Amino acid sequence: MKSFRFSLILLLLAATIDAQPVSNAPRGQALLDTVSVTGTGRVRVQPDRFSFTVGVQTQSQTVELAVNENNSRVAAVTAALKRAGATPEEIQTSGFSIYPQQDYSQGQMPRLIGYQVSNNITVTKKQIGEAGKLLQAAIGAGVNTSSGLTFSVADPTRGRDQGLRDAFADARAKATLLAGAAGRTLGPALAISEGTEPTIIPRPMEGRIMSMSKAADVSQVPVESGSEELTFTVSVVFALR
């Protein structure tokens, strides 16, 4: 009887051992045999679009007078931009505000002395060569503020192929360095994912434009578009040998 019980215990132990899950060591080892890196590629391209914002500020003792004067001057600026080659689709009102003007010089309660009205117009166009001419037209028509001139790339996929190749090469170089530092050699790429949308680094030209009384007094604004830098990123998982 004792021999039978002992044999039964051995059989149960064997069955328990066989039923246990396989060790996670191979999977853990597989994770240890990879390296994950992110690579960056940069490509410079010629911009093919520009944008600038100009505005008209007027002041008067009443809101009505300030708004009416501003409306008249903004209408003149818009008409001048259209005559210079900007289409209605390329001209957009980008801001309108009314601010009370206070006098604090008496050292007591502020005294209302009038109102300031501002109306901003943004022009966006693809023909880079027309930027100077359009600025000249706007200034000559009576704008007295400007928030800058910016060049950009209309199609961010320009330069994408080269940028992604450079990003992968950068990732491989980083992975090779890390593998060597760990005493390993780099294996094939196991997974590749593209990063976020390419980053376009604009080159703005900031400035403030003083109002001119006559279009003839304003020469064409010199404009240089330079080049734009597009940045691409990829994340890669490499095997380690």
Q: For residue 64, give the CATH number of its domain.
A: 3.30.70.2970
Q: Which residue range forms the structural domain that includes residue 129?
A: 49-154
Residue 194 in any domain: the answer is: no
Q: What is the pLDDT of residues 70-96, one digit of tens each?
A: 999 999 999 999 999 999 999 999 999
At residue 199 the predicted structure's pLDDT band, cuts being 50, 70 and 90, is: low
Answer for the pair 148, 53: CB distance below 8 angstroms, yes or no: yes
CA distances from 20 to 10, 14, 23, 140 (A): 16, 10, 9, 86
N-terminal to C-terminal alpha carbon distance within the chain: 57
Compute the radius of gyration of the chain from its Cα atoms: 34
Task: Please name the helix (run of DSSP H) or strand (run of DSSP E) that holds residue 25, with its range, or none.
Answer: helix 25-32
Residue 199 in any domain: the answer is: no
Closest CA to 33 of 235, 234, 185: 185
Amino acid at 157: T
Number of alpha carbons in the 13 Å side-chain half-sphere of residue 38? 6
- pLDDT score at 179: 95
Q: What is the pLDDT of residues 171-196, one digit of tens each?
A: 999 999 999 999 999 999 999 999 75
The C-alpha atoms of residue 62 and residue 28 are separated, in whole angstroms, by 76
Residue 80 in any domain: the answer is: yes
Residue 144 in any domain: the answer is: yes
The C-alpha atoms of residue 153 and residue 165 are separated, in whole angstroms, by 20
Task: Tell me which of 35 and 203 has the higher pLDDT.
Answer: 35
Tokens of 176: 């090779």
